[in-house]
């Protein structure tokens, strides 16, 4: 089977790797550089807590693969299962957490509930005013700069042809396959996998499939390095989006943070998501509630990235509803980093076997036209 994978972010590189492992002949076409889209901008959270329940089977599949990634790819991509704590500051959020934990249990996600004393003793310095927290011990983080190049390199070793830095001129369905014409030549294959991220809805539209997707840029920041003390990824349960922040400390000592600030609209041409320094004070106020010591540390960089948010906040994954041989995996709504290895493995299974052990029905491309 020949497959063209269009888009070389985490989804495209992981798919190319797993497709090649199953024996496909793969060409991966990326118009910029591998991993330089939303993937490199990610906060790096490998979190299952709070996910839409129907996404949990895919998230579990992905977490298992994150645990194997170093051995599989022959490279440390800084996956660390340090745990994920979400602090709680009010009774309403505690009720929300408990309801979610109960609903998620049958889906295989076990959350521990921590009281204030346990938070202080196990995680000193975090949320001094927190009344409770959820803790997911097997989640953690990874390095967003390393993962897509690592998948691409491993895919290349399995024979995947990687074409970077090209203008993609036309994408056509012809006879029993697809022809993608680029500034570096034309490529043909029986199957086409659309992993074009925030641009994925444009590719789908060329095949008559309409997906309500907005391109938006969440804002991140990072501090100077300070002694390494915070082990887990830290988030919050809150209904107040002005306080919906999160942070983690990398082993080199820098504290990476995000959330709280509005995600601004991004123009897909050229697709550059700019961070806005004016949003930083609001963000830091929210982060300081989780970690008051951040007030004494200098922020050295802010950034953003162009991510596709689908109207119902679920990705598009699976077969095209209009075109045989076309598959989609795009629009990961700000939470695709955790899912990446699982998405690659799942799409490879679907394309190569025409079946899939992970339920994808909620992510169908035609769900909006079906309910219209």
Ligand X SMILES: Cc1cc2nc3c(=O)[nH]c(=O)nc-3n(C[C@H](O)[C@H](O)[C@H](O)COP(=O)(O)OP(=O)(O)OC[C@H]3O[C@@H](n4cnc5c(N)ncnc54)[C@H](O)[C@@H]3O)c2cc1C
Can you tell me the distance from the alpha carbon of 363 to that of 320, in angstroms, rounded to the nearest whole number?
11
213 with 200: CB under 8 angstroms?
Answer: yes
Rounded to a whole number of angstroms, the minimum distance from the CB of residue 282 to ligand X is 16
Using CB under 6 A as the binding rule, the residues of this chain from 209 to 268 that contact ligand X are 218, 220
Rounded to a whole number of angstroms, the minimum distance from the CB of residue 69 to ligand X is 15
Give me the 161-190 binding string for ligand X, x by CB under 6 A, dash otherwise. Answer: -------x----------------------
Among 18, 199, 237, 363, binds ligand X (CB under 6 A): 199
Among 3, 6, 286, 291, binds ligand X (CB under 6 A): 6
Burial (CB count within 10 angstroms: exposed 0-12, middle 13-18, buried 19+), residue 84: buried
> 175: helix, coil or strand?
coil
Any residues with CB less than 8 A from the CB of 343 and at least 6 apart, and which?
10, 11, 14, 15, 58, 62, 315, 317, 329, 332, 336
Can you tell me the distance from the alpha carbon of 82 to that of 137, in angstroms, rounded to the nearest whole number?
7
Q: How far is CA 85 from CA 63, 121, 145, 242, 256, in A?
A: 17, 14, 24, 19, 15
292 with 126: CB under 8 angstroms?
Answer: no
Q: Is 5 in the site for ligand X (CB under 6 A)?
A: no
Using CB under 6 A as the binding rule, the residues of this chain from 277 to 336 that contact ligand X are 304-305, 307, 330, 332, 334-336
- CB nearer to ligand X: give 118 or 145: 145
Number of residues that bind ligand X (CB under 6 A): 39
- CB nearer to ligand X: give 203 or 211: 203
Rounded to a whole number of angstroms, the minimum distance from the CB of residue 43 to ligand X is 3
Can you tell me the distance from the alpha carbon of 180 to that of 187, in angstroms, rounded to the nearest whole number?
5
Using CB under 6 A as the binding rule, the residues of this chain from 112 to 171 that contact ligand X are 168
Using CB under 6 A as the binding rule, the residues of this chain from 18 to 77 that contact ligand X are 29-32, 36-39, 41-45
322 with 209: CB under 8 angstroms?
Answer: yes
Q: Which stretch binds ligand X (CB under 6 A): 99-107, 194-202, 205-213, 362-370?
A: 194-202
Among 3, 4, 8, 348, binds ligand X (CB under 6 A): 8
CA angle, 41 as apex, 38 and 46 as ends, to 5°?
90
- CB nearer to ligand X: give 88 or 215: 215
- Enumerate binding residues for ligand X (CB under 6 A): 6-12, 29-32, 36-39, 41-45, 168, 195-199, 203, 218, 220, 304-305, 307, 330, 332, 334-338
């Amino acid at each position: 089977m020949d497959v063209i994978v269009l888009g070389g972010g985490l989804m495209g590189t992981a798919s190319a790797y797993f497709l090649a492992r199953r024996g496909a002949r793969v060409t991966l076409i990326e118009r910029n550089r591998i991993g330089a889209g939303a993937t490199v901008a990610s906060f790096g959270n490998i979190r299952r807590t709070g996910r839409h329940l129907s996404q949990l089977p895919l998230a579990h599949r992905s977490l298992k693969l994150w645990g194997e990634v170093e051995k599989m790819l022959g490279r440390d991509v800084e996956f660390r299962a340090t745990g994920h704590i979400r602090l709680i500051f009010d009774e309403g959020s505690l009720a929300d957490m408990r309801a979610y934990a109960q609903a998620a249990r049958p889906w295989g996600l076990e959350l521990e509930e921590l009281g204030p004393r346990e938070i202080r003793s196990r995680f000193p310095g975090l949320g001094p005013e927190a009344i409770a927290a959820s803790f997911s011990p097997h989640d953690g983080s990874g390095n967003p700069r390393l993962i897509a190049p690592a998948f691409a390199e491993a895919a290349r070793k399995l024979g995947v042809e990687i074409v970077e830095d090209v203008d993609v001129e036309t994408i056509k369905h012809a006879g029993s396959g697809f022809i993608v014409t680029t500034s570096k030549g034309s490529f043909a294959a029986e199957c086409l996998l659309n992993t074009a991220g925030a641009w994925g809805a444009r590719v789908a539209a060329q095949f008559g499939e309409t997906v309500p997707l907005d391109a938006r840029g969440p804002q991140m920041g990072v501090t100077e390095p300070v002694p390494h003390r915070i082990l887990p990824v830290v988030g919050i349960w809150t209904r107040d989006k002005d306080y919906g922040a999160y942070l983690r400390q990398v082993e080199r000592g820098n504290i990476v943070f995000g959330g709280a600030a509005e995600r601004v609209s991004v123009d897909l041409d050229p697709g550059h998501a700019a961070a806005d320094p004016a949003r930083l004070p609001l963000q830091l106020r929210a982060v300081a509630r989780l970690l008051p010591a951040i007030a004494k540390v200098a922020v050295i960089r802010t950034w953003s990235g162009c991510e596709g948010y689908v109207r119902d906040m679920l990705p598009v994954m699976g077969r095209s509803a209009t075109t045989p041989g076309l598959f989609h995996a795009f629009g990961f709504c700000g939470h695709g980093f955790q899912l990446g290895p699982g998405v690659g493995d799942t799409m490879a299974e679907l394309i190569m076997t025409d079946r899939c052990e992970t339920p994808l029905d909620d992510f169908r491309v035609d769900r909006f036209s079906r309910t219209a």
